Chain A
Amino acid sequence: MPDVTDEAIAAKVQAGDGESFGLLMERYEAKLTRYARRFLLNGEDGPDVVQEVFIKAYVNIKSFNPAKRFSPWIYRIAHNEFINAIKKRQRSREMLLSFFEPDIFFPHPLAKESASGEAERASLRAELEKNLNKIGPKYREPLVLYYFEELDYREIADVLRIPAATVGVRLKRGREALKKIMPTSPLV
């Protein structure tokens, strides 16, 4: 059913057609596994976390509004699960403090989304892929969502629950971090 939208399938699942959830899993499993691998940095718990994302998505599917896009909704669940996985793994408090981050406190000018060509994006992705592990999770996640999962600023804002302008700021800082690691990087 390639022409049927995710939202329409989600609506069918909400109506009680549990089998249709398999279609959604088919469409998102590769994406979420990739997202987990890049965000959790090849953690062995990746497949388990992705499975947990689908379980949470199914259990909470009736909270999804089919008038909105499905992908930010499932990525939000994935984000929460990945954060929990990182907390379990590192016992890090970094994420707990995200509400008090100064970059979500004050307004920033909204940076324009770059309209780079596919060839350029592919080279950026290749470079990012090699160096993602050197960038902290705060900047790594928006880079992954923007360059690999191809979500726009507004969708990333909904996934991370931060202002869209802050997404721009974090992407810029993420690229700057990469530039420091690889001075020849074309990202900045």
Chain B
Amino acid sequence: MTDEPKQTIQAKVLEEIKSGHLLMRPKWRFALNLALFAVGMALALALVWYMVSFTIFILHDSGAWFGPSFGPRGWLAVIGSLPGVIIFLAILFVIVLEILVHHFAFSYRRPVVYSLGGIMLLVVIGSAAVAKARVHERLTSYAERHHVPMMAPLARVFRGRPNAHLFPGTIATTTENGFVLTTRRGDFIYIHISQSTRLPPGFLFAAGDKVMIFGDRMASSVTAFGVRPLCPPRQLPPPPGCDE
């Protein structure tokens, strides 16, 4: 009674093999499968690199990158500037990448935290390299100049979102209690400097200086909580008698 299924299973499978109904998959199918996994992983990694470096580019572009130098309120400004959709997609692709990597013994034999850590390291290094190579700056300006479908509107959507508290621009002229800032869009904003404004020590304002302002905007004026030079700061001249 117990031997019956044994005979049946073996006999059935062998019969299928002999009749030619059951065929071995050729080796190239498995090689192709492996290659597809590798391509999938490379593609997912490239997409994550693209999205993370694009986020860095947007933060630089909106000035939010400099937010942390203005303290906790600056950090909040950075968080508010993050492109949520892109961050969500990047996280999604990191999960996809982890699932693909988990297919291989070197990954599943170790805790997930190790492979995830390795992926994060690759993402940070790769994204920093892409951001440093100014790939997005070139791509965006190319897309805008040549009106590339999809890319140009996408760049406009993300680049055209100025931060509510961070204002990068160039000092047009100094005033009694601050200066007039020309924004990248060509608008003029009156910047009010008070005693509570955080300024780099020894910083002298002058027309033409590129600066980042952190503050609250009211119509066309901003009460500055902090000012940060975007170029090397102009220092006070040394006191008389201290010339080198």
Contact = CB atoms under 8 A, between A and B. Distances in A.
Interface of A: 13-14, 18-19, 21-22, 25-26, 29-30, 33, 47, 50-51, 54-55, 58-63, 99, 104-108, 157-158, 161-166
Interface string B53-73: 000000000000000000000
Given A62-B30, A99-B102, A47 B109 contact: no
Contacts of B17: 18-19, 21, 58
Given A63-B30, A105-B112, A107-B114, A25 B13 contact: yes
Interface string B1-44: 00001101110111011100011111101100000000000000
A106 to B, nearest CB: 5
A30 B108 contact: no
A165 B109 CA distance: 9
Contact of B6 (A30, A60, A99): A30
B10 A55 contact: no
B201 interface: no
B113 interface: yes
B149 interface: no
Nearest to A30: B6
B25 A55 contact: no
Given A21-B13, A58-B17, A107-B114, 15 more contacts: A13-B24, A19-B17, A21-B14, A26-B10, A47-B5, A54-B13, A59-B22, A62-B25, A106-B112, A107-B110, A107-B111, A157-B108, A157-B109, A158-B109, A161-B108
Contacts of B22: 55, 58-59
Interface of A is mostly: helix
Nearest to B26: A62
Interface string B72-116: 000000000000000000000000000100100100111111100
A59 B23 contact: yes
Contacts of A13: 24
Contacts of A61: 24
A60 B25 contact: yes
11 contacts: A21-B13, A25-B9, A25-B10, A47-B8, A55-B22, A58-B24, A62-B29, A105-B112, A106-B112, A107-B111, A162-B108
Interface in B103-136: 105, 108-114
A33 B27 CA distance: 29
B36 to A, nearest CB: 14
Nearest to A46: B5
Nearest to B8: A47
Interface centre among B13, B17, B108 (most CB of A within 10 A): B13
Contacts of B109: 157-158, 163-164
A33 B113 CA distance: 36
Contacts of B26: 62
Contacts of A25: 9-10, 13-14
In the A-B complex, the 6 residue pairs with the smallest Cβ-Cβ separation, listed nearest first, are: A63-B30, A161-B108, A47-B5, A18-B17, A62-B27, A105-B112
Nearest to B34: A63
Nearest to A108: B111
A35 B197 CA distance: 73
Contacts of B16: 55
Contact of B25 (A54, A59, A106): A59
Nearest to B13: A54
A19 B14 contact: yes
